[in-house]
């Protein structure tokens, strides 16, 4: 099992007092995502992305990234996925995932040769336009998925209960997939919000559960353009955030009829789009 945190020694200051103490910090390590194809002209593995992530569920992360970037669209597009390279002595994981795609997938390798560098905080910063989603063929979400207000209010605590390492580190985001009765059926942690979302979407993809038009997504932080983009590509009709949405995320939610909830705290929340999916 992957280590999500590690123990360190710190000096703790409280007013004028100073003590040496042990603390836990979230692990952040680079993951390289490579792609290749059964086609002879694309058989050599090519580095597509380097993302700073918390080790664990790396295959889900790579799959989710490829799906939400519209490089893959269906289960048969992936022939194999494997971790390669040396085992990292700190996290116990190999830090490269190699995905071999079916020869039917049009890689457009010239376009994919741009090397993405993804930090744990901002995601893929180069993709920031509504036109990009339109070019991927995304459509308005017509799902009749709905959830009761009472069930919605319980989601933050249910997500919190799934966060294995948050109590130790306080430094990990979480993403959870929930059903219409408010149950968290899948959750992942990561130092990056976008990575946590890619991990749950990747898991759904590998279980052949996309488009996820009968499920909702909850995230522990804010909703940015990129998280809304991933939500739309995955066909998820409702995204809930503990914090604020960005203006572009709101615009996208309205354009694609995705229900967007923000500032879900205690007994209150804001609905920015798609209020028809929340009933009292």
The answer to whether position 184 is within a domain reads yes
Q: Do 218 and 95 lie in a common domain?
A: no
The answer to whether 239 and 262 have CB atoms below 8 angstroms apart is no
Give the domain CATH number at 265: 3.40.140.10
How far apart are the two ends of the chain, measured CA to CA in Å? 41
Q: How confident is the model at residue 39 (pLDDT cuts 50, 70, 90)?
A: confident
Q: How does residue 147 score in pLDDT terms, banded at 50, 70 and 90?
A: very high
Say whether both 254 and 152 belong to one domain: yes
Please check whether residues 244 and 182 belong to one and the same domain. Answer: yes
Which are the contacts of 171, defined by CB distance < 8 A and separation ≥ 6? 25, 26, 191
Tokens of 2: 């992957």
Does 120 lie in the same domain as 68? yes
- Helix H or strand E encompassing 239: strand 238-241
Burial class (CB in 10 A: 0-12, 13-18, 19+), 10: exposed
User: Torsion angle, CA of 236/239/245/251, rounded to 10 degrees?
Assistant: 40
- Residue 277: predicted pLDDT: 98
| 134 lies in some domain | no
Q: Would the pLDDT of 206 be above 90? A: yes
Q: What pLDDT score does 81 carry?
A: 97
Q: Which residues are catalytic?
A: 122
The answer to whether residue 13 is domain-embedded is no
Let me know if residue 140 belongs to a domain.
no
DSSP symbol at 127: -
Name the domain boundary from 127, 156, 175.
127
85 and 33, same domain (yes or no): yes
Residue 112 confidence (pLDDT): 67
Domain count across the chain: 2
Provide the angle, in degrees to the nearest 10, between the axes of the packed helices 225-233 and 247-255. Answer: 20
Residue ending a domain, among 96, 127, 158, is: 127
Q: What DSSP element (H or E) covers 83?
A: strand 78-87
Residues 120 and 155 grouped into a single domain: no
Quick check: is 275 in a domain? yes
Q: Which of 223, 133, 146 is nearest to 178 (CA)?
A: 146
Identify the CATH number of the domain in which residue 48 sits.
3.10.20.10
Work out the pLDDT band at 145, boundaries 50, 70, 90. very high
199 shares a domain with 159: yes
Taking the whole predicted model, whether its pTM rises above 0.85 is answered as: yes
Residue 22 belongs to some domain of the structure: no
Q: What is the pLDDT of residues 173-193, one digit of tens each?
A: 999 999 999 999 999 999 999
Q: Tokens 């079916």 identify what position? A: 102
Rounded alpha-carbon distances, angstroms, from residue 198 to 98, 123, 189, 201? 16, 11, 11, 5
**Residue at which a domain ends, from 127, 160, 177:** 127
Give the strand pairing for 147-148 and 184-190.
Answer: unpaired
What is the rounded distance in angstroms from the CA atom of residue 119 to the CA atom of residue 166? Answer: 20
Tell whether 77 is covered by a domain.
yes
Residues 200 and 92 reside in one and the same domain: no
pLDDT of residue 170: 67
Alpha carbon separation from 210 to 75, 205, 217 (Å, rounded): 9, 6, 13
Range of the domain at 268: 147-279
- Under the banding of pLDDT at 50, 70 and 90, the label for residue 8 is confident
Same-domain pairing of 98 and 164: no
Which range (15-29, 101-115, 136-150) has the least confidence?
101-115
Q: Please indicate, yes or no, whether residues 237 and 275 belong to a single structural domain of this protein.
A: yes
**Between 104 and 135, the higher pLDDT residue:** 104
Tokens coding 115? 């090397």
CA distances from residue 113 to 24, 38, 82, 109, 176 in whole angstroms, order as listed: 38, 18, 21, 6, 32
Mean pLDDT of the chain: 87
Residue 238 has pLDDT above 50, yes or no: yes
Asked if residue 182 is part of any domain, the answer here is: yes
258, 156: one domain: yes
Q: Are residues 215 and 182 in the same domain?
A: yes
């Amino acid at each position: 099992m992957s280590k999500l945190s590690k123990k360190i020694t710190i000096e703790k200051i409280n007013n004028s007092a100073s003590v040496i103490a042990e603390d836990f910090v979230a692990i952040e390590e680079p993951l390289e995502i490579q792609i290749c194809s059964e086609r002879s002209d694309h058989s050599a593995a090519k580095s597509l992305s380097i993302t700073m992530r918390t080790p664990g569920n790396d295959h889900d992360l790579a799959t989710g990234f490829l799906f939400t970037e519209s490089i893959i669209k269906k289960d048969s597009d992936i022939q194999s996925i494997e971790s390669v390279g040396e085992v990292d002595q700190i996290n116990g994981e190999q830090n490269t995932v190699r995905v071999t795609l079916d020869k039917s997938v049009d890689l457009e390798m010239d376009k994919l040769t741009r090397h993405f560098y993804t930090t744990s905080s901002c995601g893929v910063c180069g993709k920031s336009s509504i036109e990009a989603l339109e070019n991927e063929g995304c459509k308005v979400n017509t799902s009749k998925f709905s959830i009761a207000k009472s069930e919605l209010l319980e989601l933050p605590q249910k997500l919190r209960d799934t966060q294995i390492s948050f109590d130790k580190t306080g430094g990990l985001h979480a993403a959870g997939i929930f059903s219409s009765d408010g149950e968290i059926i899948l959750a992942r942690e990561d130092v990056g919000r976008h990575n946590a979302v890619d991990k749950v979407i990747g898991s759904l993809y590998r279980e052949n559960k996309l488009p996820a038009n009968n499920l909702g997504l909850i995230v522990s932080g804010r909703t940015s353009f990129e998280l809304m983009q991933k939500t739309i590509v995955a066909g998820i009709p409702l995204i809930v955030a503990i914090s604020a949405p960005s203006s572009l995320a709101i615009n996208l939610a309205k354009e694609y009829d995705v229900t967007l909830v923000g500032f879900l705290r205690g007994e209150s929340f804001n609905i920015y789009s798609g209020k028809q999916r929340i009933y009292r």
